[in-house]
Structure 1
Amino acid sequence: MIQRTLPRKAAGRPSARARRASRILLAVTAMAALLSLDLPEAGAAGPPGVTDEAPADAEAGRVGALFADGLEGGHFCTASVVRSLGHDLIATAAHCLDHPDTTVFAPGYRDGEAPYGVWRLTRVWLAPGWADGRDPDEDIAFATVAPADGGETRAVEDVVGAFPVAAAQPGDVTVTVLGYPSVQDGPLRCSNATSLFSPTQRRIDCPDLSGGTSGSPWLAGGALAGVLGGYQGGGDVPEVSYSAVMGDAALALYCEAAGVAR
């Protein structure tokens, strides 16, 4: 059974000043590497608020569909690869991970093919507010993955690359959403300015982001600024979508999953 992990409480353990300073320096260096930009080339964005098929480029290769019990089970959500020390981490909506033991991830999935393999989930990180009461303000989760068939020897980030994470974005930040509607076998892409629906929820106007796009990355300048989810599970009409604001709590959850102390 896959372990579901909540953020750990920091342990106050005394140490020598030099050793403590060394640990802090290593943590800061690791965090800077995870959050710094090293972005793939992406195709030119279309007009704001217009949803089109995403080109098969490096950016789309870092995004994939979540399937139940393999590719024959149908895809029901979207996830993306984000940076981690283990090079094996994906981000999605927490409501997409109700059954992690049978969920697999196919980055770059298109037209029935998984060009970068199929990856099983090995561990899941959920925020306490979601685990205890399905708080829509904490509808983001992270999971580590490993090759489903054992044939691939590299980690997923080494195969497709990974997005850095960019929390604390302004309310009107422009993002690009990449997601897989469950009714088609390729990703859609839409860019537009966002607005704050509430202090804890962000919204975007993009058509055709229907069921299956939950968990889609919201990319601000090529870095993960949220995932489709939150209010109304991400929205109850395909023209308007939501994401929980990615603040300190989400960043702490990411750091825990990515293996970096804040």
Structure 2
Amino acid sequence: MIQSTLPRTARPTRARRASRILLAVAAMAALLGVDLPDAAAVPPLGITAQARPGATADRVGALFTEGLDGGHFCTAAVVHSEDRDVIATAAHCLESPETTVFAPGYRDGKAPYGVWKLTEVYIAPGWTDGQDPDDDIAFATVAPAGAGRSGAVEDLVGGFPVAAEQPDEATATVIGYPRTEESPLRCANTTDLLTESQRRIGCPDLTGGTSGSPWLVGGALAGVLGGYEGGGSVPEISYSAVLGDEAVDLYRQARS
């Protein structure tokens, strides 16, 4: 049975959250593997297009029920950890972790880096007890789901560092898998704050299935698509809980 690990400390105060500074574990080493496409190949801000294959997109994958035939329903991304086995997604994507599998770099029905089962999940009490949208972020450890593959997922695709306390108007890149697409979409735009705990971005066509998509700022994970309205009630505007102390604590538990 998958263990669900929850922090035992009380929910941090807003003041404590505000004091969080940049957290980027082994950031320089992790960022060395991030592809930097030519500026001409990058769509303008606010335009959604197919994500190019490469180091960045391959760290992002689709979440399926049991296997590739089960249909993908959410998105997740590999983040850096000591055991090189941690993914980040939205908490609301992990309602059935025992049957959920992760396929990094998934495209057109193929999983070039294999299929990975969840072995342990890390979700805040604010979500498990009351589905607080401010706690709609989760981490999980993964292991190969079948025979023929061993080792750690981060050894294959690399992992994003995790960074908290981004500027209110940070430019974020979102990469995710709508249910109707068999390859990931990408959109970048300037973000702003809906509230002090919820960030939003204007990007079209980020429909159902993109929940859990990483929000990347400077190549580091600064949030995941989710939170307010489950990540958004219209495809043009998406949300992410601001990465605060509690999410950072979950990440620290997962990565160690």
Q: Same fold (TM over 0.5)?
A: yes
**Residue 249 of structure 1, CA deviation:** 1.3
The question of whether the paired residues in 2 share the 8 Å contact of 1:165 and 1:223 is answered with yes
Which runs of 5 or more residues in structure 1 are unaligned? 10-30
| Matching of residue 187 in structure 1 with residue 191 in structure 2 | no
Does the aligned pair in 2 maintain the 1:37–1:223 contact within 8 Å?
no
Match of 2:26 in 1: 34
Name the counterpart of 2:76: 79
Whether 2:229 is the aligned partner of 1:237: answer no
Determine whether 1:4 maps to 2:10: no
Partner of 1:153: 150
Deviation at 1:46, TM superposition (A): 1.3
| Candidates 128, 131, 143, aligned match of 1:131 | 128
Equivalent residue number for residue 201 of structure 2: 204
Q: Secondary structure at the match of 2:181?
A: coil
Structure-2 change in CA distance of 1:142 and 1:46 (3 Å): same
TM alignment of 1:81-160, pairs within 5 A = 81-160=78-157
CA contact (8 A) 1:194 1:203 kept: yes
Task: Give, as a single letter, the amino acid of the residue that structure 1 aligns with 2:148.
Answer: G
Q: Give the corresponding residue for 2:215.
A: 218
Q: Identify the residue that residue 22 of structure 1 maps to in structure 2.
A: none
Distance 2:254 2:28 in 1: 17
Identity of aligned residues (%): 65
Alignment of 1:15-26 (within 5 A): none
Is the Cα contact below 8 Å between 2:123 and 2:137 reproduced in 1? yes
Distance, in Å, in 2 between the alignment partners of 1:219 and 1:174 is 8
* Residue 8 (structure 1) shift: 4.7
- Matched positions, count: 239
2:223–2:242 contact (8 Å) kept in structure 1: yes
| 1:221-254, Cα deviation, whole Å (9 max, x unpaired) | 0000000000000001000000000011111111
Aligned position for 1:70 = 67
- AA of the residue aligned to 1:113: K
Structure having the higher Rg? 1
Cα RMSD for the two superposed structures? 1.4
**Farther off after superposition, 136-145 or 147-156:** 147-156
Cα displacement string for residues 77-118 of structure 1 (whole angstroms, at most 9, x for unaligned residues): 000000111100000000000000000000000000000000
TM-score w.r.t. structure 1 length?
0.88
The 1:71/1:47 distance shift into structure 2, 3 A limit, reads: same
One-letter code aligned to 1:42? L
Q: Quote how far apart the aligned CAs of 1:35 are.
A: 4.1
Aligned match of 2:253? 256
The answer (yes or no) to whether the contact 1:42–1:57 under 8 Å persists in 2 is no
CA contact (8 A) 2:65 2:100 kept: yes
Letter in 2 for 1:34: A
Q: Deviations over 1:142-199 (max 9, x none)?
A: 0000000132122000011000001110110000000000001000000000000001
Q: State the SS of the aligned residue for 1:224.
A: strand
Partner Cα separation in structure 2 for residue 37 and residue 220 of structure 1 = 16
